[in-house]
Homo-oligomer: A and B are copies of this chain.
Amino acid sequence: MNKPESPQGDKSAGARTAAQPRYQQVADALRARIATGSFGPDGQLPTESALCERYGVSRFTVREALRRLQTEGLIRRRRGSGTTVDTGSTAQRLPISNIGGLMDYAAGSSFQFQVIGAATMGAVQAADLGLEADSRWVHLAGKRRQQPHGPAIALTDVYINADLARHVGGLQQGNQSLFTQLAEAGGFRIARIDQDLRAMAAGSREAVALGIPRRAPVLRIVRIYRDTDDRVVEASVSIHPGDRFTYSMQIDQG
């Protein structure tokens, strides 16, 4: 019927971006098809062997692609019965349980910030964030909104490793996450993000900035971004009003 859509290697070309692995290309293609609803009302995906033919790759590659989509909560797989689009439950919510999800979250909202300046982290604050005392950072502060002129869903303090200070000036306001921009500018990759979530009462600063009563319940999310060498690239503290933000995630298998 149709010849295999080879996910072209793209070894040549001026594309400075390294050619992505094939399973990533297949996953992207399937993610796009899921988004456009091309799998019909029942959401049944082709079988693995059918996808192998379609994209001209081995079953290993197809399974690796499907595994990604599964951890993103996009699909559901059952032995014997096949793979289906996961429309139920949390499909319309935003799973921030992988780095791609975090980027989507950033892409779906807008972050306006300003540079506060150089900062040295005191012992108390460092311990609170789980970082080394007396380490040096560039401090940014800003708000995140879902609609351009809507209410802020978060007040965020960002601390960027002082070694990356020269890249701070090039950071764009808007829809791209800071860590993505930093990784591109600095030529490294974010390998892991640690998150701590807890509830607390809004202080006066947060209350004023977010337009909520003092001592209102807020969700505090501390994120530590590490590169492949385990160096802390960025740390951030986000304060979300309790009534404007819900954190959704999925947990799979055993």
Least distance between A149 CB and chain B CB atoms (Å): 24
Bound Cα distance A193, B89 (Å): 10
Chain A contact patch, size range = 35 or more
Check A252/B191 contact, CB under 8 A, given A78-B228, A224-B89: yes
**Per-residue B-contact encoding for A180-198, CB less than 8 Å = 1, 0 else:** 0000000001111111111
CB neighbours of A191 from chain B (8 A): 252-253
At the interface with chain B, which of A51-59, A161-169, A240-248?
A: A240-248
Q: Which of A217, A242, A252 has the most CB of B within 10 A?
A: A217
At the interface with chain B, which of A28-36, A92-100, A107-115?
A: A92-100
Query: Is A99's CB under 8 angstroms from B217's CB?
Result: no
Asked if A209 CB lies within 8 Å of chain B CBs, one says: no
Query: Is A195's CB under 8 angstroms from B250's CB?
Result: yes
Asked if A42 CB lies within 8 Å of chain B CBs, one says: no
Per a CB cutoff under 8 Å, which of B102, B201, B241, B248 touches A194?
A: B248
Asked if A88 CB lies within 8 Å of chain B CBs, one says: yes
CB neighbours of A220 from chain B (8 A): 199
Least distance between A245 CB and chain B CB atoms (Å): 7
Q: Which of A78, A215, A242 has the most CB of B within 10 A?
A: A242
The 10 lowest CB-CB distance pairs between A and B, nearest first, are A199-B242, A217-B217, A199-B219, A199-B199, A193-B251, A197-B247, A199-B217, A198-B246, A99-B254, A201-B217
